[in-house]
Chain A
């Protein structure tokens, strides 16, 4: 079943995606089709299995919480659409 325009708008805002009116209709229909297909997993009995957390089965990995210098910081900032000094710059977020 197609997702309603309202549902699609809600998801698009959560996903921080601006979508056009045409995309709303199209995604509503396509997501509906995909979710209908996905429904088939709901019929499987999974009451006696745990959700997969890791396929490796390896133990947890720890490391020292130590500061290490990253040599490429300047190159990282060079990619920024806007920056000021050593900072990424965005529009004001507090009044």
Chain B
């Protein structure tokens, strides 16, 4: 195997393919060989598209052979979370209710990846409709953590994080509504970026909570995440919330120094109940930033403890409205399917009730019910109205802190990966695990989870940056990556 493949970095693969030192088809074949070797244990993928991927890779090779530019992700195998549309492929969202559905078009991010020569290899597992923190809520099967197969990979982008950690693909896309990219990245020991709300088009992402959802990359390195962001970011007229602010495409800024820049440590994130190995990992990360000549200072985000409660009003409310489209009429699981016994249901209402009742899993039903209750007559102002006001308090306190510092450093999650089944039957306990990642979605700014130096199960440090300041955030993260006394660690099974 070539040096470039051993490295398995998106930036290096693309450079080698563009230079003609490596064939995209060879890289794609290698990705599928790796998937065949490890995915029977990890179960990161819900579906694969080997034939299409190899054909796409040959197209990239043909472009290189004819001297045309093959793109900044030429030949890079990419896994896509199964709530993002890839034309002609399933998009189950980890749910039975999208059984048999074939995506009629490419999501904007997928279109942009393809335009830069990326090779989509398959769709990754997730908690049903991205609702969960463990990937155990997939209607199909749970994904396992490559570091310890008895543990969860985190969620909801658990399949994407596990596929990258197990070295099946160098890069994957996830979506993040309350931590669904950053928390699995932390649990699996990879980097995961949630861009600023509005930085990346959501066209073709199945909506969960529209004011919080954002697509982002997971990779082995910050450099690869930055490269992926530079490809997928930017205005899209098909998503009215997608910002027109320009995104600089060159990545030279990543190598600039960060001496004198300020990092804030919010005391509300270093609380009792933090697992000792998380505390230790984040402290080791802080040492790296100090070594880089950055100034570390204490800051305060006093409303942090209200984040989870606010989120569990706003996100389910938006979900209850968004998921109304799964009605058994236009796609997926339905009691109204042609050829079903005519007497099975009496009327349209019964088709709605039975199609949705039979198609959605428990966690999704629980959140739809919660959101419907919060939005229902007599409760709206007390729950949704109040939560949106509290959200304003959260937005404002981040604005204040970002006047004092360039970035905020926290643990990504209070614990390392937990065991499968450990939090089953206690939804509230599962929700509380999102305490450190939720505020970033509520306030809309960007955040990245970086692997902490250390042994044993991976631990993540979350670095949050100002809205639309991904350049500064990634520059700090890249400096950390180069300075950290560790290379991306590899699970024994990969």
Contacts and interface: CB of A to CB of B under 8 A. Distances in A.
Interface of A: 3, 7-8, 10-19, 23, 27, 30-31, 33-35, 37-42, 44, 46, 49-56, 58, 61, 63, 72, 75-76, 78-83, 88-93
Interface in B311-351: 312-313, 320, 324, 327-332, 334, 336-338, 345-349, 351
A8 to B, nearest CB: 7
Nearest to A84: B338
Contacts of A40: 305-306, 309
B374 to A, nearest CB: 8
Given A18-B353, A44-B390, A90-B336, A56 B197 contact: yes
B393 A49 contact: yes
Given A15-B368, A30-B366, A51-B385, A90 B351 contact: yes
A73 B125 CA distance: 28
B395 interface: yes
Nearest to A83: B338
A42 B386 contact: yes
B395 A55 contact: yes
Interface residues of B, number: 75
Contact of B313 (A8, A14, A41, A82): A41
Interface stretch (B61-69, B236-244, B404-412): B236-244
Contacts of B338: 81-83, 89
B136 to A, nearest CB: 16
A34 B310 CA distance: 11
The 10 closest A-B pairs by CB, nearest first: A18-B357, A55-B444, A51-B388, A75-B104, A81-B334, A46-B389, A72-B104, A79-B331, A18-B353, A15-B372
Most B CB contacts (10 A, CB to CB) among A15, A33, A49 go to: A15
A82 to B, nearest CB: 4
A16 to B, nearest CB: 4
Given A7-B373, A82-B336, 7 more contacts: A23-B362, A31-B369, A49-B392, A79-B100, A89-B338, A90-B336, A91-B346
Contacts of A17: 353, 356-357, 360, 365, 368-369
Contacts of B243: 56, 58
Contacts of B382: 42
Nearest to B388: A51
Contact of A51 (B332, B356, B389, B442): B389
Given A17-B356, A18-B356, A91-B336, A79 B389 contact: no
Interface of B: 100-102, 104-105, 197-198, 211, 237, 240-241, 243-244, 303, 305-306, 308-310, 312-313, 320, 324, 327-332, 334, 336-338, 345-349, 351-354, 356-358, 360, 362, 365-366, 368-370, 372-373, 376, 382-383, 385-393, 395-396, 427-428, 431, 442-444, 467
B392 A15 contact: no
A51 B387 CA distance: 8
Contacts of B365: 17, 19, 23, 27
A55 B348 CA distance: 38
Contact of B391 (A8, A52, A83): A52
Contacts, number: 178
A9 B426 CA distance: 22
Contacts of B376: 10-11, 14
A33 B102 contact: no
19 contacts: A19-B357, A30-B428, A34-B428, A41-B310, A41-B313, A42-B386, A44-B303, A46-B393, A52-B211, A55-B467, A78-B104, A79-B102, A79-B330, A81-B329, A81-B337, A82-B337, A90-B351, A91-B336, A93-B348
A51 B336 contact: no
A37 B387 CA distance: 13
B369 A8 contact: yes
Contacts of B389: 46, 49-52
B394 to A, nearest CB: 9
B347 to A, nearest CB: 5
Contacts of B387: 41
A78 B386 CA distance: 43
Contacts of B306: 40-41, 44
B200 to A, nearest CB: 13
A90 B387 CA distance: 37
Most B CB contacts (10 A, CB to CB) among A3, A11, A41, A76 go to: A41
A83 B357 CA distance: 22
B102 A46 contact: no
A41 B369 contact: no
A31 B366 contact: yes
Nearest to B199: A56
Contacts of B310: 41
B202 to A, nearest CB: 13
Contacts of A50: 389, 392
A14 B102 contact: no
